[in-house]
Structure 1
Amino acid sequence: MKKRILVTDTILRTILRSLPLPFASGEPILDLLDELKRSRNSIDQKIQKVHESLHETSTVIKELESELTTRTENLKILQSEYERYSTLNEIEEEKANALLSQVEHSLGKDKKSERWISFLISTVSGLLIFLAGLLLSPILTPFISKMFNFNP
């Protein structure tokens, strides 16, 4: 293709140089033709660059779109998980609060009565031991003295 253009250009130049033109020589026309070729090549190169840029931009946009779609799906999954755990947390919190209040109620209500019962049991047992000691000490003192050979 380039050889054909080169051959055509050479032939055209030769013809224009050999023709006797009354208004001017063929050189300005040749210069105009060269300038047209260069501008055509420049425009073709610019169009090619724009085409490549658009193609690359399209590829990048497709990649971004797929990545955003993936992230959106992941976000929806995380959002549904968050909602599920939030409802579970609320249910468990209500159950735990109910259980704690029941335990506190049971412990707080019985504390005073348990303390009085414990005080009475301790007092009665202390009195029984004291009375047993008073009653049994005259009986057990001679027996223990004989047993260990201890004379008071």
Structure 2
Amino acid sequence: MKNSDFRTARLLAALISGAVFGIGLAMAGMIDARRIIGFLDLTGNWDPTLAFVLGGAVLTSALLFPLIKKQGHPLFDTKFRIPNRTDIDAKLLGGAALFGIGWGLAGYCPGPAIAGLGTLSTEALWFVPAMLGGSLIHSLFDKRAPNRNG
């Protein structure tokens, strides 16, 4: 397979995977911000639904990833692209904290928010532009941000 064929196949696989992921999130009710906030409300009206969705994802990954890794490379690429950094720095901790605070306040993280656009969710319609704006501001101020065009 030529490099351009791999690129086209990767993009198509990403599109299909993203669509399946979004449909799965919608079917599981994970695009409802109130359900996520209910999961995070440990002392009130706790909703365990997210735990079952996460458990299903972890189980699926645990069963299938070793099989995929055994073949030596992903189906539509020449190698696995796994990050090799293992250090924990202030930027990572700050980003994780900010992500958690935003998730707890809004009940959304990027995947469900983008899937929520498909249902014209009011929350998603204000969350996604704010998320994209935050990403843009970060890329403008952080000169070390990786170039994702290559």
TM-score (norm 2): 0.19
TM (norm. structure 1) is: 0.19
- Which fold has the larger relative contact order, with Cα–Cα distance below 8 Å and residues 6 or more apart in sequence? 2
Flag the structure with larger Rg: 1
Higher helix share: 1
